[in-house]
């Protein structure tokens, strides 16, 4: 199905057609996200085999990495949302020009972020309350990842441009390949050289034995290979973003102004969300290595449920953005609701499955029995809120397609810092890590309900379209 032609040429869409459009874009993105989570599981198991301290080292700095990643995503969205709307409005020259400007701005921004990250890396573990046994591992992991941030952000940009132009399958396929590469590179960089059992044979494995640092090196290497492939597809092959000789590589005031209008609220939203996660880690850190490791593994395990929601949110942004670009607000409203419903159904089912298999998942992730038990307990608390979590994730994606990014920022600020943080500070003293995750569960429910109300009241008019 050519989604772009459907949106442009049809005057009305039956609900079955809308649902088909949502699923046709969502499934490739969801598969990519699920594959990425499988990679995260295997990564966690690889590092977990080094002991609870190694897992805690990565878990300690993970919220800061999510913060950096989220800011990078915000910068990319400032250009990819414009591309989606230009494509919907049949303005091919503008979509290609916006992509070029995105390449320039995101590259410069990524180098700046990387420099700041490397500079603060020796101090960050101490700021987060690291204990001596995890300090060095946390520092090494964060520094290597920050050095690779320009590569990571270019991969994000190329992926977003392909997705905005409707090429979900290509973007998803090569992101899945990245996951496979990551496993291989991690095994190479994390473990020392030696013989390993493979299909009943002892095979020599040329490992480099970098430990925790090797996990970051493996991830960045896999990102680099994938970034080269996706950039080639976006720059040279995809019709809507293809660049040709003679095109001018310069910045325009109108494009940058629109990018800032889109990106700044998203950056604020990501800053609020990940800033709260950093604050939560500061609350969790005094509980000890077992609590830090259990918290990290629980977040990884829950990702299997919520990352497909982000895949559906990507589809929602594309469909809503192209509908508004084509000046069809009824399509935008329909796609928004069908995307949210799809996300709530999918994440609800996955949450129920994860609730049942949680003990087996933690047994795979870590051999530490104390971490297994605590991680299972806190994860099951959060799983009760997965459907409403989906409403906030996919709802934010739909609103981004309409350029309504400020609401998400305000609601996340009010919900995270007005509900989650006060509850976590109160409950951690009573119930430890279980209290922290109870606060998370209650806050996610509040946030999901707020997004459902916003989707219902949104006008979905043409105010975000390109003139």
Mean pLDDT of 281-307: 86
Q: Please, which pLDDT band fits residue 199 given cuts at 50, 70 and 90?
A: low
Asked if residue 379 has pLDDT above 50, the reply is yes
Is residue 334 within 8 A of residue 13, CB to CB? The reply is: yes
Using CA atoms, how far residue 209 sits from 56, 58, 190, 192, in Å, is: 19, 17, 5, 4
Q: What is the pLDDT of residue 11?
A: 62
Which residues make Cβ contacts (< 8 Å) with residue 160, sequence separation at least 6?
76, 77, 79, 80
Report pLDDT digits (tens) over 32-79: 666 656 666 666 677 777 877 887 888 788 878 878 888 888 899 889
Q: Which helix (H) or strand (E) holds 225?
A: helix 212-232
Which residues make Cβ contacts (< 8 Å) with residue 23, sequence separation at least 6?
342
Range among 76-80, 340-344, 399-403 rated most confident: 340-344
How far apart (Å, rounded) are the C-alpha atoms in residues 445 and 431? 20
Give the residue among 389, 413, 397 at the shortest CA–CA distance from 273. 413
Residue bearing the bigger pLDDT, 10 or 430: 430
Q: What is the pLDDT of residue 130?
A: 82
Per the structure block, which two tokens stand in for 94? 């503008």
* Angle at which helices 329-365 and 369-383 cross, to 10°: 160
Q: Please, which pLDDT band fits residue 464 given cuts at 50, 70 and 90?
A: very low
DSSP 8-state secondary structure symbol assigned to residue 467: -
Give the residue among 462, 258, 296 at the shortest CA–CA distance from 375. 296
Q: What is the pLDDT of residue 198?
A: 57
Per the structure block, which two tokens stand in for 198? 């493979």
DSSP codes, 229-241: HHHHIIIII-TTT
Residue bearing the bigger pLDDT, 238 or 452: 452
Per the structure block, which two tokens stand in for 286? 């005094």
Q: What value, to the nearest 5°, has the Cα angle with vertex 280 and ends 36 and 445?
A: 75
User: Hey, is 91 helix, strand or coil?
Assistant: coil
Q: Please, which pLDDT band fits residue 243 given cuts at 50, 70 and 90?
A: confident
Give the residue among 398, 393, 447, 395 at the shortest CA–CA distance from 418. 447
How far apart (Å, rounded) are the C-alpha atoms in residues 284 and 424? 10
Per the structure block, which two tokens stand in for 396? 């934010």
Q: Please, which pLDDT band fits residue 2 given cuts at 50, 70 and 90?
A: low
Task: Tell me how many domains the chain contains.
Answer: 1
How far apart (Å, rounded) are the C-alpha atoms in residues 43 and 85? 37
Asked if residue 7 has pLDDT above 80, the reply is no
Using CA atoms, how far residue 321 sits from 84, 204, 267, 458, in Å, is: 6, 51, 19, 14
User: Residue 275: which domain range?
Assistant: 3-464
Radius of gyration of the chain (CA): 22
Report pLDDT digits (tens) over 414-423: 888 899 999 9
Share of the chain above pLDDT 90, in %: 35
pTM score of the predicted model: 0.72
Q: What is the pLDDT of residue 274?
A: 77
Mean pLDDT of 119-139: 88
Give the residue among 69, 190, 187 at the shortest CA–CA distance from 140. 190
Using CA atoms, how far residue 195 sits from 159, 218, 233, in Å, is: 37, 20, 39
**Beta bridge pairs of residue 196:** 203
Asked which of 16-20, 41-45, 54-58, 317-321 is least confident by mean pLDDT, the reply is 41-45
């Amino acid at each position: 199905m050519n989604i772009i032609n459907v949106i442009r040429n049809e005057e009305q869409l039956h609900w079955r057609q809308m649902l088909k459009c949502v699923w046709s874009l969502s499934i490739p993105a969801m598969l990519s996200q699920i594959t990425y989570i499988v990679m995260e599981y295997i990564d966690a198991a690889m590092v977990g085999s080094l002991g609870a301290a190694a897992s805690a080292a990565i878990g300690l700095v993970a919220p800061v990495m999510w913060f950096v990643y989220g800011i990078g995503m915000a910068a990319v969205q400032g250009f990819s949302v414009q591309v989606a709307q230009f494509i919907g409005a049949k303005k091919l020259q503008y979509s290609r020009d916006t992509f070029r400007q995105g390449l320039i701005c995101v590259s410069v921004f990524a180098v700046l972020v990387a420099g700041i990250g490397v500079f603060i890396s020796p101090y960050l573990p101490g700021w987060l309350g690291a204990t001596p046994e995890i300090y060095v591992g946390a520092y090494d992991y964060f520094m290597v990842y920050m050095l690779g941030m320009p590569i990571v952000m270019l991969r994000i940009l190329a992926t977003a441009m392909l997705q905005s132009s409707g090429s979900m399958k290509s973007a998803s396929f090569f992101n899945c390949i990245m996951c496979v590469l990551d496993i291989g590179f991690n095994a190479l960089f994390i473990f020392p050289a030696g013989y390993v059992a493979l299909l009943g044979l002892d095979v020599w494995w040329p490992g480099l034995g970098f430990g925790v640092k090797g996990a970051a090196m493996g991830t960045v290497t896999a990102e680099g290979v994938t970034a080269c492939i996706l950039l080639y597809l976006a720059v040279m092959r995809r019709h809507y973003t293809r660049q040709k000789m003679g095109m001018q590589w310069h910045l325009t005031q109108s494009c940058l102004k629109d990018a800032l209008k889109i990106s700044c609220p998203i950056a604020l939203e990501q800053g609020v969300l990940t800033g709260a996660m950093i604050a939560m880690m500061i609350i969790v850190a005094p509980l000890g290595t077992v609590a830090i490791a259990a918290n990290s593994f629980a977040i990884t395990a829950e990702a299997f449920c919520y990352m497909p929601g982000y895949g559906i949110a990507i589809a929602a942004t594309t469909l809503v953005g192209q509908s508004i670009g084509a000046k069809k607000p009824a399509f935008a409203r329909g796609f928004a609701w069908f995307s949210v419903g799809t996300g709530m159904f999918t994440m609800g089912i996955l949450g129920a499955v994860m609730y049942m298999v949680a003990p087996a998942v933690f047994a795979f992730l870590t051999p530490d029995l104390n971490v297994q038990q605590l991680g299972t307990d806190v994860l099951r608390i959060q799983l009760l809120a997965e459907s409403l979590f989906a409403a906030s994730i996919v709802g934010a994606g739909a609103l981004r397609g309409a350029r309504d990014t400020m609401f998400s920022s305000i609601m996340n600020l009010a919900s995270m810092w007005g509900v989650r943080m006060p509850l976590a500070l109160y409950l951690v003293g009573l119930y430890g890590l279980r209290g922290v995750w109870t606060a998370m569960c209650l806050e996610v429910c509040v946030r999901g309900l707020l997004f459902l109300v916003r989707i219902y009241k949104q006008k979905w008019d043409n105010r975000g379209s390109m003139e």
